[in-house]
Structure 1
């Protein structure tokens, strides 16, 4: 079969060309890396015709870009000169030029007059379901020849395979984009939900500096760490920090229940052990034969003293000890060891401890994501490792204390695999400048 009598091809209308180019852009194929599937198609086309060269070409605004080539090593694109690929996309059936020098459509093409001296050309259009012709599957030879009907039918089949690959690629890209959008929406929802589980800001406590932070191990999940600080009716202040079991929506619901239960328990009776016992009863009431709903927590009460210090009473249920950073730089754990998980055991025991914060001293509460993190050598940081790091850092005030922990978490990097909540309370150091000198 030949290409018939030579004739000049009509140029596409501007509207049709804009629609075609929009389709090219839609498939996001231009300037992508080589792909084995397209390379195979070009190789099969050359083998079917017995030609030394074949391409899978996409026609851009002013260039012909080759997604795959066979026998044209190093050639990635050529200008959009009429006669070969640029003319082939004007036809919805195979385009054949048995002798390029004898055909006025191709005789002046640079690939015909110059290297590699093309004398035979045949192409099948790569056509979308909507009829836009994106490019061609081509075969080329340096000597004139004829093409059979069977060869051209195979060429059309190969062009259809290219279109199938492009559709599959587009579907994959859209799926990835949709998954990314869903993941982004889920992350945004998780962040929003996480914020609702924590106080938007800590209240100002007279004579005390406060700071809190939440470090999620993953932006994809809602964690169960929580903290709060709030006033009691008698001039004292209550605070708590803890960690519920699980992740996600169930953990969020349990966190919300725990936080508001502890607030309500403090109004009823702010004794730390009593507050944890009330929480234990509520969590067991929510159990109702399903999976246990439990948590660890520290609950404390602050009472300001006339000398600027604060008496601290706190109780723990299965939670790591709070740390006091003394004015001399030492780090002292406030142990509630023996306090048991809240909501899990039939008759749990909660352990209470007391201390006093003097000017220049701070209290740090944290969840176990911090001390269970792995150091670069693979060992667990642990309570002793945290105490050593804070003692060496000599942080100043609540903000400085959390800054030291931030640096520690950054140093641990991938060794941190669980959420970490932090609550720091510090008593500012006494003034050393006489008030009279401040006004000079």
Structure 2
């Protein structure tokens, strides 16, 4: 189309990229362009002078028209981008956005309404697809969270076992609202008579993938503890398993082997990149025990150190994840010094010490844990 035809106002009106309607103040259609007729399938003679704009709307939109659209137009003189549906000649509905202007004469009396109608069928379809995709994603996330939480419940014993001669307590607090499972885990299990293993670890990351690696770590420790008598050898096995596994997640862990020999408990401690346990003795302050080893699952030739201590009456070992010492209040860290002070101040049962640590680190963070927290306390009765 060239020349006068393309510039002719009548042609531009009739073939505009949007529908045009003109009505009387009470809504009777007096003019309609070809675009609107082509979209809706209505004939011009069936609309002009015969039907009102509101007659082209489904029942729900008619109510909206009378209660919101028309009053807004009368009060403000314009109504912009109103979402409605137009009923086509064949009964199908076409989603539209309508912008209308109320024309007045020199005395201010309404003389007509001019409306531009935009077909938003594709936009509405896209919005529905986006909403459906969002709902599918939310449902998928909910299933993944439920799966991970269910899996983690199998990784953390609900209560530590009863060990004659020892008092054991544990606590676990996930980060944030607790919906997304983290990688902290602990386990306390028996290998033989008067021979027990305590392990506490932290797998990098959160979610179902971290939970899977957590399960692998926990059950590897259980299996390796049967074949190996010192914690360092168990950690070597776990390190090898993680490096060969199809995962890029690493792990830290601290392992304590507890044996009762001639009536006295001997604890052998080894750490794989994990914070060292605190040893508290009667009349003395809590202090770290053991030697650091490499993080598990990263270094090809990792090394680990076994440290043995004899535990007497009143002694206690406190194992914890870095969610305790790295708890934050603004720029302040909870820190190892504050943890030692809490351990020293609560010398009752293992549960009393464990509960005091959890309560204090949560209070320090205003009950908003930014990382998972796990604590295990083993005390000699």
Fold match by TM threshold 0.5:
yes
Q: Could you tell me how far 1:365 is from its partner in structure 2?
A: 0.8
Name which of 306, 316, 334 aligns with 1:362: 316
TM-score (norm 1): 0.59
**Residue aligning to 2:198:** 239
Name which of 94, 109, 115 aligns with 1:143: 109
CA distance in structure 1 between the aligned counterparts of 2:235 and 2:269, rounded to whole angstroms? 10
Name which of 64, 69, 73 aligns with 2:72: 69
**Residue aligning to 1:399:** 351
Q: In structure 2, do the counterparts of structure 1 residues 334 and 6 end up closer, same or farther at CA, with 3 Å as the change threshold?
A: closer
Q: Which has the higher strand share?
A: 2
Contact kept in structure 1, 2:286 and 2:344, CA below 8 Å: no
Contact kept in structure 2, 1:323 and 1:331, CA below 8 Å: no
CA distance in structure 2 between the aligned counterparts of 1:124 and 1:226, rounded to whole angstroms? 53
**Residue aligning to 2:156:** 198
Trace 1:248-267 onto structure 2 (pairs within 5 A): 248-267=207-226
CA distance in structure 2 between the aligned counterparts of 1:177 and 1:293, rounded to whole angstroms? 30
CA distance in structure 2 between the aligned counterparts of 1:58 and 1:422, rounded to whole angstroms? 64
TM-score (norm 2): 0.67
Q: Could you tell me how far 1:266 is from its partner in structure 2?
A: 1.7
Q: Could you tell me how far 1:196 is from its partner in structure 2?
A: 3.0
Q: In structure 2, do the counterparts of structure 1 residues 128 and 193 end up closer, same or farther at CA, with 3 Å as the change threshold?
A: farther
Q: Could you tell me how far 1:424 is from its partner in structure 2?
A: 2.2
SS in 2 for 1:320: coil
Unaligned runs of 5+ in 1: 22-56, 77-122, 429-440
CA distance in structure 2 between the aligned counterparts of 1:192 and 1:244, rounded to whole angstroms? 17
Unaligned runs of 5+ in 2: 1-29, 32-46
Q: In structure 2, do the counterparts of structure 1 residues 249 and 72 end up closer, same or farther at CA, with 3 Å as the change threshold?
A: same
Q: Could you tell me how far 1:167 is from its partner in structure 2?
A: 6.2
Q: In structure 2, do the counterparts of structure 1 residues 58 and 412 end up closer, same or farther at CA, with 3 Å as the change threshold?
A: farther
CA distance in structure 1 between the aligned counterparts of 2:130 and 2:208, rounded to whole angstroms? 30
Describe the superposition over 1:390-420 as per-residue Cα deviations: whole angstroms up to 9, x where unpaired. Answer: 434x263232223223221242258854333
SS in 2 for 1:232: strand
SS in 1 for 2:333: coil
Describe the superposition over 1:210-236 as per-residue Cα deviations: whole angstroms up to 9, x where unpaired. Answer: 332333336565433221111122222
**Residue aligning to 1:382:** 335
Q: In structure 2, do the counterparts of structure 1 residues 247 and 165 end up closer, same or farther at CA, with 3 Å as the change threshold?
A: closer
Deviates further, 125-134 or 185-194: 125-134
Contact kept in structure 2, 1:374 and 1:381, CA below 8 Å: yes
Q: Structure 1 segments of 4 or more deviating over 6 A?
A: 2-8, 133-136, 163-168, 290-293
CA distance in structure 1 between the aligned counterparts of 2:127 and 2:205, rounded to whole angstroms? 38
Q: Could you tell me how far 1:320 is from its partner in structure 2?
A: 0.9
Name which of 186, 194, 214 aligns with 2:144: 186
Name which of 249, 274, 277 aligns with 1:319: 274
Contact kept in structure 2, 1:202 and 1:211, CA below 8 Å: yes
Contact kept in structure 2, 1:342 and 1:348, CA below 8 Å: no
Contact kept in structure 2, 1:210 and 1:398, CA below 8 Å: yes
Trace 1:13-412 onto structure 2 (pairs within 5 A): 20-21=59-60, 59=63, 64-66=67-69, 69-70=72-73, 72=75, 126-127=85-86, 131=92, 140=102, 143=109, 145=111, 151=114, 154-155=115-116, 157-158=117-118, 160=119, 173-217=131-175, 219=178, 221-284=180-243, 286=244, 294-304=250-260, 310-328=265-283, 331-343=285-297, 344-359=299-314, 361-376=315-330, 378-392=331-345, 394=346, 396-407=348-359, 408-412=361-365
CA distance in structure 1 between the aligned counterparts of 2:83 and 2:365, rounded to whole angstroms? 59
Q: Could you tell me how far 1:259 is from its partner in structure 2?
A: 1.6
Number of aligned residues: 325
CA distance in structure 1 between the aligned counterparts of 2:163 and 2:372, rounded to whole angstroms? 27
CA distance in structure 1 between the aligned counterparts of 2:170 and 2:378, rounded to whole angstroms? 9
**Residue aligning to 2:20:** none
Question: Once superposed, what is the RMSD of the aligned Cα atoms?
Answer: 4.4
Q: In structure 2, do the counterparts of structure 1 residues 72 and 373 end up closer, same or farther at CA, with 3 Å as the change threshold?
A: same
Q: In structure 2, do the counterparts of structure 1 residues 124 and 300 end up closer, same or farther at CA, with 3 Å as the change threshold?
A: closer
